[in-house]
């Protein structure tokens, strides 16, 4: 005899420690046991008599829970044990043979048939020969409904929606027939009253009127508007009840943010000691969305002031033109510099995920290092490519970052020196089994020039310090002149491998090895250092404390390194 069971039970596989019921399943199946426990739920009884009055309910729920996972011939044996004031139900379930799927027919009709929108993955959910699972049957129906809503098939309907179970034969058939109806499209985007120009707002919309409906595009518009920096409140809706024919209008409610913000920050590292930073931003100046800002950073060895003016381009979210000016003074051991730079850069986030910056700056740098000193004036075109991906948050479990920086100058073209400089860096992070964390870093750099003595310190390479080769002071690794003072190098090689173990939540012990140097010849020796450390994932980000020692120069002794900031 065949029986129809429409919309049977959703499976809840939640492990719950039951108070008052002990469930045993034969043959042992954890998923069935956990589903029975979830169906029964908490059981409370003040006496054995109270518990016995609940046996029928417990028996019924256990039967339904087993059927939800395809076991229609299960048998329950219940008995009450335990003391009078703390009774216990011992429930023994003999599963018997399961019901298996026989014929699975899922057919999508209408304009959406065969499209990517309705690639449902039926085989992974309901394959012939599998044990019947009502939860998976419901999941398939939910998947159909969700796809229809996401892709705008708002008139979709079921012609058939059946799950037929033949308990005696131990077989079940699935028969679903769904007609998608027409696919709606996205209409014109209407913004609430705002001081921004219609042209600027239109360039932020990632679709045109008439684009086939996709709820992800509506969500992207919401996300892009929030990330633009212009608004502190955004609500994007596509009300179906206002559709004109098969086109759904898009309504956007926006609230501008306060145009001005002032920020203060600080930190400490063994590289530059204590430092403070102040920033001012005017997030929008006019209806075209122009912005500007300034920042100042102060520490004992370094002081810098910079300002910018930014103009949004064709896509204000991903594309902008930034003009900048900056002044910096640096005095670190044997190196003293004063530099002034003015220029512009075009920044664009590419569809591939890379952030590209093409720039041109005029830089003048007055410097003194070792026996070299002078003034360098350079017109420098540059290209910077960056990409980063992580699992998110201030303490990601995995991720990577990539950096490529290429720049140069031509003597005689507003420049006093010829050079080409390339710098690349790769960082990686991976967490294994929750508390085993591995980090790696490799940085390579090179400067090509026919007059290295005229290259200013900001374009030479130095190694050593918290973010380079630990076990050495900041920028203490490089070639030296006749007086023994560091003067910077043509090449940089810096690498690190680190292992961290989380022994208490948010606290990790670390061990590492760093390898590299700043050299004038690729045949020059590289330095190796090792160390141990402690990591604290604070509310403001990771804080690192390291004790390192050079294996190449043991006379240097131990070095303590302290730093803050992201690891990628």
DSSP string, 79-136: EEES-TTS-EEEEEEE--SPPEEEEEEEEEESTTTTSGGG---HHHHS-TTSBP-HHH
Residues 352-402: tens digit of each pLDDT: 999 999 999 999 999 988 777 889 999 999 999 999 999 978 899 999 999
**How far apart are the C-alpha atoms of 209 and 338, rounded to whole Å?**
54
Please give the mean pLDDT across all residues of the chain. Answer: 92
pTM of the model: 0.80
**Main-chain phi, psi angles of 42, to 5 degrees:** -65, 140
Residues 298-353: tens digit of each pLDDT: 988 889 999 999 999 999 999 999 999 999 999 887 789 999 999 999 999 999 99
**How far apart are the C-alpha atoms of 393 and 534, rounded to whole Å?**
20
- Cα-based distances in Å from 7 to 67, 134, 351, 445: 13, 8, 43, 64
Which pLDDT belongs to residue 151?
96
Which pLDDT belongs to residue 7?
35
Q: Is a pLDDT exceeding 60 seen at residue 11?
A: no
Least confident among 60-64, 71-75, 164-168, 537-541:
537-541
Residues 101-141: tens digit of each pLDDT: 999 999 999 999 999 999 999 998 999 999 999 999 999 99
Which pLDDT belongs to residue 85?
85
**How far apart are the C-alpha atoms of 101 and 166, rounded to whole Å?**
10
SS (H, E, C) 445-506: EEEECCCHHHCCHHHCECECCCCCCCCCCCCCECCECCCCCECCECEEEEEEEEEEEEEECC
Q: Is a pLDDT exceeding 60 seen at residue 24?
A: yes
**How far apart are the C-alpha atoms of 418 and 282, rounded to whole Å?**
38
**How far apart are the C-alpha atoms of 350 and 202, rounded to whole Å?**
20
Nearest to 305 by CA among 328, 322, 282: 328
* Residue 86 structure tokens: 């703390």
């Amino acid at each position: 005899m065949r029986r129809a069971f429409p919309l049977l039970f959703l499976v809840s596989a939640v492990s719950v420690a039951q108070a008052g019921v002990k469930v045993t399943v034969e043959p042992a199946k954890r998923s069935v046991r956990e589903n029975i426990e979830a169906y029964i739920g908490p059981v409370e009884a003040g006496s054995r008599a109270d518990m016995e009055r609940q046996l029928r309910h417990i028996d019924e729920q256990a039967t339904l829970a087993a059927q939800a996972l395809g076991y229609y011939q299960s048998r329950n044996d219940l008995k009450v044990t335990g003391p009078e004031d703390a009774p216990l139900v011992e429930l023994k379930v003999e599963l018997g043979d399961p019901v298996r799927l026989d014929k699975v027919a899922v057919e999508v009709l209408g304009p959406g048939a065969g499209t990517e929108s309705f690639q449902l993955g039926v085989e992974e959910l309901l394959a012939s020969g599998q044990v019947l699972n009502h939860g998976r049957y419901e999941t398939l129906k939910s998947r159909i409904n969700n796809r229809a809503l996401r892709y705008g098939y708002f008139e979709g309907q079921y012609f058939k929606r059946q799950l037929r179970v033949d308990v005696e034969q131990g077989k079940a058939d699935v028969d679903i027939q769904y007609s998608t109806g027409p696919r709606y499209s996205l209409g014109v985007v209407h913004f609430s009253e705002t001081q921004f120009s219609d042209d600027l707002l239109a360039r932020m919309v990632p679709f045109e009127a008439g684009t086939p409906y996709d709820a992800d595009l509506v969500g992207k518009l919401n996300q892009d508007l929030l990330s633009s920096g212009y608004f502190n409140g955004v609500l994007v809706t596509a009300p179906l009840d206002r559709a004109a024919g098969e086109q759904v209008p898009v309504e956007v409610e926006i609230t501008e943010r306060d145009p001005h913000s002032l920020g203060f920050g600080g930190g400490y590292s063994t590289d530059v000691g204590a430092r403070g930073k102040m920033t001012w931003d005017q997030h929008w100046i006019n209806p075209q969305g122009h912005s500007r800002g300034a920042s100042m950073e102060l520490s004992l060895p370094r002081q810098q002031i910079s300002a910018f003016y930014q103009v949004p381009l064709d896509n204000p979210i991903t594309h902008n033109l930034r003009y900048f000016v900056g002044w910096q003074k640096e005095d670190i051991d044997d190196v003293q510099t004063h530099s002034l730079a003015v220029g512009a850069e075009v920044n664009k986030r590419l569809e591939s995920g890379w952030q590209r910056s093409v720039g041109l700056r005029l830089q003048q740098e007055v410097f003194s290092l070792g026996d070299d000193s002078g003034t360098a004036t350079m017109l420098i075109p540059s290209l910077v490519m960056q990409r980063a991906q992580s699992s998110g948050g201030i303490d990601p479990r995995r991720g990577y970052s990539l950096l490529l920086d290429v720049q140069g100058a031509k003597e005689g073209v507003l420049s006093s020196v010829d050079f080409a400089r390339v710098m690349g860096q790769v960082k990686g992070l991976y967490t294994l089994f929750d508390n085993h964390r591995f980090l790696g870093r490799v940085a390579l750099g090179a400067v090509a020039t026919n007059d290295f003595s005229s290259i200013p310190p900001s374009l030479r390479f130095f190694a050593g310090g918290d973010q380079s080769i630990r076990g050495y002071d900041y920028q203490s690794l490089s070639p030296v002149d006749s007086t023994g003072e560091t003067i910077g190098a043509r090449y940089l090689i810096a690498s690190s491998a680190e292992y961290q173990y989380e022994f208490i939540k948010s606290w990790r012990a670390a061990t590492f090895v760093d390898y590299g140097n700043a050299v004038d010849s690729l045949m020059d020796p590289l330095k190796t250092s090792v160390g141990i450390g402690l990591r604290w994932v604070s509310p403001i980000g990771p804080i690192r404390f390291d004790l390192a020692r050079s294996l190449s120069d043991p006379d240097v002794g131990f070095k303590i390194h302290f730093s803050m900031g992201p690891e990628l």
